[in-house]
A and B are shown apart, each in its own frame.
Chain A
Amino acid sequence: MNRVCRALIIEDEAMVAMLIEDLLADLGCEVGHSAANAREAERAAQDCDVDFALLDVNLGDGQTSFGAAQVLKARQVPYAWVTGYGAQVIPAEHGDAPVLHKPVNPGLLASVVRRFSDERGCCTDEV
């Protein structure tokens, strides 16, 4: 049996981070790391051994996840945006990544996670 998928969550709102953790747990994924600000996010994107990442765009105080996304892209770790903004705030270079809107639709999150798990060969629960 394949290993369980490990996720990186970048989200500055504690409650929303908690929700995403719960939704990922429902899908049978582990949360490898959770970051709340840009600096921590970039470090986690560089150092953490994860299969995919879910990124909030705006981390408050003018910080964003774009730097972390750059690092993930270079490491070829797939990621999706989870945002309260429209898709138009996401720079074109990250335009390929799926965009999930807040509040999070658990069904869409599940389909994105399944796509990532196929790509990475890690396992999630069948939903």
Chain B
Amino acid sequence: MPLGAETGVSGGRQGHLEARYRAIFDTAVDAIVVIDEVGIIGAMNPAAERLFGYASDEAVGRNVNMLMAEPYRSAHDGYLARYRATGERRIIGIGRAVTGQRRDGSTFPLELSVAEWAAEGERFFTGIMRDVTERTRAERLQRLMVNELNHRVKNTLATVQAVATHTLRNAASTDEARLQLNERLQALAEAHDTLTRENWEGASLSDIVEAAVRAHGAAARVQAGGPQVRLRPKLAVSLALALHELFTNAAKYGALSVEGGRVDIAWRGGGGEPLVLEWREGGGPPVSPPRRRGFGSRMIDSLARDMAGEARLDFRPEGLTCTILAGAPAEREQTLEVGP
């Protein structure tokens, strides 16, 4: 099978060259197709046979536009005619991205470079092609991830802005503000760590609770338990911040401010059932309702809103109780997702 040009001259130097190019042609990883100046295929290497799904004998003698998807397929004869007429190079020696079409009709992105050569007064073109499906996919994924990262960073900055604004506005002193701000940012970072361990796909409710218990050094005085429930990332972050406020409040004024006080955290539901999470303090000093609504109670309200449900804070004398009730799961998007 000729490489396109007539290679009838045999032996000696010509034979040596022929063998050299034949070896390249046959073993190249890239697809190579040789056409004449009107676009008729003269040769196709094994890589091109694999890429397009045609045997070389089927392709040779046919118009190369059969390997192209529209709009290239219809336009290609025109491209060649224009080049013959004007000599204006749009692709030769430049290379470009086009869309190829396999025998089965499927299309794919193709990187194409074209060389022009002449033999015995005739003009030929050699096209070297590479399937760039994988690369295109990887590039798209990377773009998507960079955009998503930017979105998350901006949202996290907005969250930090919210925490900082609220803290600075409500703290009694600069020292208190510094302490509270650091603690809240730590709680936020902790929630991010938990989510990162699971690729930001979600977090188990018990992991979020455990992280909060650990961060507040309260393991010996907290009883926590409930079924396996998976939280969406947004809810996991909100819950972590809400728990942080509850723990801070308990350590300052509530059950964890005295010897012998304790906290029960219990949840039920999930798996299509409405989720109920209850925080119950006991053994602490007598409780009286706070004079104004703090960050914590607003955080808990927002959390309930995220869960399409409601939250109740009961400042009972025997101990604070916080009940968060997630709304009935009407839509998957709005409900907690339950893990396996």
Contacts and interface: CB of A to CB of B under 8 A. Distances in A.
A84 interface: yes
B154 A63 contact: no
A19 B158 contact: yes
Determine which residue in A15, A18, A102 has the highest number of CB atoms from chain B within 10 A of its CB, and name it: A15
A93 B188 CA distance: 37
A60 interface: yes
Interface string A9-28: 00011111111001000000
Given A85-B151, A102-B154, A104-B161, A37 B334 contact: yes
Contacts of A13: 155, 158-159, 234
Contacts of B162: 15-16, 18-19, 22
A110 to B, nearest CB: 14
Given A22-B165, A39-B331, A14 B305 contact: yes
B114 interface: no
Interface in B121-143: none
A36 interface: yes
B232 interface: yes
Interface string A97-122: 00001111000000000000000000
Interface residues of A, number: 27
A14 B155 contact: no
Interface string B232-245: 10100110010000
Interface stretch (B12-20, B296-304, B313-321): B296-304
Nearest to B160: A103
Contacts of B153: 84
A85 B234 contact: no
B163 interface: yes
B333 A37 contact: yes
Interface in A64-105: 83-85, 101-104
A-B complex: 4 closest residue pairs judged by Cβ atoms: A84-B154, A14-B302, A19-B162, A102-B158
Interface of B: 147, 150-155, 157-163, 165-166, 169, 232, 234, 237-238, 241, 298-299, 302-303, 305-306, 308, 331-334
7 contacts: A13-B158, A15-B163, A58-B151, A60-B333, A84-B155, A85-B154, A103-B160
